[in-house]
């Protein structure tokens, strides 16, 4: 850790110019977590939207976010992250300011969420590239843990603090203020570009050839599956139906449920920061974290099924939500290994493909879960224009079905290689 602090000290000016980048990333993470999960009942009660329609508000963001990851990875490898985030941040700001202005018009809401997701898609991968360019590889896992920690702080604000603000003020006005803050942070990033000048434009042509190689790499396919299952399970609970489940089944108040999601997000933040540091302390070993997180996701899902089956104390569900957060903390290890089982000159594209699949799972999962939940409610109940309460059987089936992919992820995690911070190739074969 001493070398990390020395790196920061030796690059003080760059580091303080780097901070606004990850703060802008935090505002994008709020958009993922706070909408639609925290305002689920508001969208249902105020506008009569069904669970599928509300899930679509999240899916409009997540689909474009995930599908753009490959292209953003290519652009960041070619043009440098700071150039990419400059244009992406502008699109992001249009979406976040526009969304609260069109609430009630479902298709306009989808369009604004599309723009928000399009702009947000440039941020994480651009920061991944800039972190490697500015600070090197030795303490990369620690820096990446910090990026996740700060980014997730935006998601943390999207839980209990956002819910409390919505209780006191009109939720649309709250979203407008958050949009203004996002624009202000973007302007700070533009100003600090004088301190972080863009790197040289790579002579390598933009090509899908690396993607073809990634798809033929069995290690990459297993890693993507494990990473996507763990991330999407946590994210779907956090972003879409977790708060609703706590209100319907555990019978917590809106504020109480938001507190649990708040604690869930904060636990994930601490785990990400801790896992990033732990990797460095353990000699850059990644595999133990991947096996641990995959196993925890499966065992926790099994526990949730058993708790519902035998009608045990609701406190077990709160503990279960927090354990999903701990499992999700392995994102640092998965991101590092996705880069290192391929080649350094395609690191951002490899991370982009992993991210793409992660968010495709997040995009599809809520729609399937929303459809499943709605199937347990009559058409009259869905059309009543009031917040729907879903039965226990619906939620039990959700967790029961999650046992299948999480179980497969455990098996695959044992076959992933230990890279210890070294790339398998400097350049991709062929």
pTM for this entry: 0.75
Residue-wise pLDDT tens digits, 2-30: 677 777 777 778 888 888 999 999 999 89
In a domain, 6, yes or no: no
In a domain, 51, yes or no: yes
pLDDT greater than 60 at residue 380:
no
Q: How many helices (H) and strands (E) does the chain have?
A: 21, 0
CATH of the domain at 56: 1.20.1250.20
What is the Cα Rg of the chain in Å? 21
Name the domain count of the chain. Answer: 1
CA distance linking residue 414 with residue 404, whole number of Å: 17
Coil vs helix vs strand at 375: coil
In whole angstroms, how far apart are CA 384 and each of 46, 51, 109, 162, 391?
A: 12, 13, 22, 27, 17
In a domain, 3, yes or no: no
CA distance linking residue 88 with residue 351, whole number of Å: 18
In a domain, 4, yes or no: no
Residue-wise pLDDT tens digits, 136-185: 767 777 888 888 889 888 888 887 888 888 888 888 999 999 999 999 99
In a domain, 168, yes or no: yes
- CA angle, 183 then 188 then 191, to 5°: 130
CB contact set of 54 (below 8 Å; sequence gap of 6+): 36, 40, 43, 44, 240, 370
Residue-wise pLDDT tens digits, 404-429: 999 999 999 999 988 877 777 666 65
In a domain, 210, yes or no: yes
- Which residue, 272, 274, 424, 287, is CA-closest to 350? 424
How is residue 59 written in tokens? 């899916």
pLDDT greater than 60 at residue 103:
yes
- Which residue, 362, 44, 48, 350, is CA-closest to 220? 350
Residue 384 has a pLDDT of 54
| Residues 64 and 117: beta-carbon distance below 8 Å | yes
pLDDT greater than 80 at residue 386:
no
- Distance from chain centroid for Cα 59: 13
Q: What are phi and psi of 204, to 5 degrees?
A: -65, 135
Quote the domain boundaries for residue 237.
12-413
- Sign of the C-alpha dihedral, residues 310, 312, 318, 320? negative
In a domain, 419, yes or no: no
Lowest model confidence (mean pLDDT) among 35-44, 104-113, 283-292: 35-44
In a domain, 66, yes or no: yes
Residue 410 has a pLDDT of 95
Beta bridge partners of 425: 343
The upper half-sphere exposure of residue 240, i.e. CA atoms within 13 Å in the direction of its Cβ, equals: 30
């Amino acid at each position: 850790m001493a070398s990390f602090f020395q790196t920061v000290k030796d690059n003080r000016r760059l580091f303080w110019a780097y901070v606004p980048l990850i703060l802008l990333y935090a505002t994008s993470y709020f958009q993922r977590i706070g909408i639609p999960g925290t305002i689920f009942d508001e969208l249902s009660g105020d506008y009569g939207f069904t669970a599928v329609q509300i899930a679509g508000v999240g899916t409009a963001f997540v689909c474009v976010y995930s599908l753009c990851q490959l292209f953003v990875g290519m652009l960041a490898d070619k043009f440098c992250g700071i150039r990419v985030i400059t244009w992406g941040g502008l699109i992001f700001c249009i979406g976040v300011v526009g969304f609260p202005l069109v609430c009630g018009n479902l298709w306009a809401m989808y369009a604004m969420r599309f723009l928000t997701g399009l702009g947000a898609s440039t941020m994480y991968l651009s920061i991944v590239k800039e972190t490697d360019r500015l600070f090197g590889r030795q303490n990369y896992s620690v820096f990446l843990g910090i990026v996740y920690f700060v980014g997730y702080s935006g998601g943390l604000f999207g839980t209990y603090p956002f819910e409390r603000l919505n209780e006191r003020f009109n939720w649309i006005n709250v979203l407008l203020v958050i949009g203004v803050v996002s624009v202000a942070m973007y302007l700070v990033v533009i100003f600090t570009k004088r301190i972080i000048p863009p790197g040289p434009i790579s002579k390598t042509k933009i090509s899908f050839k690396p993607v073809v190689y990634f798809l033929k790499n069995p290690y990459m396919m297993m890693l993507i599956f494990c990473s996507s299952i763990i991330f999407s399970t946590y994210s779907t609970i956090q972003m879409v139906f977790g708060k609703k489940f706590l209100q319907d089944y555990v019978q917590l108040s809106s504020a109480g449920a938001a507190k649990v999601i708040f604690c869930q997000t904060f636990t994930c933040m601490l785990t990400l920061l801790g896992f990033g540091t732990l990797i460095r302390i353990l000699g850059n070993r990644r595999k133990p974290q991947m096996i641990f997180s995959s196993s925890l996701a499966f065992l926790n899902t099994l526990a949730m099924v058993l708790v519902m089956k035998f009608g045990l104390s609701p406190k077990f569900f709160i503990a279960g939500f927090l354990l999903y957060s701990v499992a999700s903390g392995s994102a640092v290890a998965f991101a590092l290994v996705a880069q290192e089982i391929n080649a350094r000159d395609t690191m951002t594209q490899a991370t982009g493909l992993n991210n793409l699949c992660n968010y495709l799972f997040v995009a599809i999962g809520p729609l399937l879960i929303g459809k499943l939940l709605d199937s347990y409610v009559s058409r009259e109940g869905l059309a009543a224009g009031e917040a729907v309460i879903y039965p226990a059987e619906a939620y039990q089936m959700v967790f029961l079905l999650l046992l299948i992919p999480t179980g497969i992820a455990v098996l695959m995690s044992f076959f992933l290689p230990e890279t210890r911070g070294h790339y398998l190739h400097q350049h991709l074969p062929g």
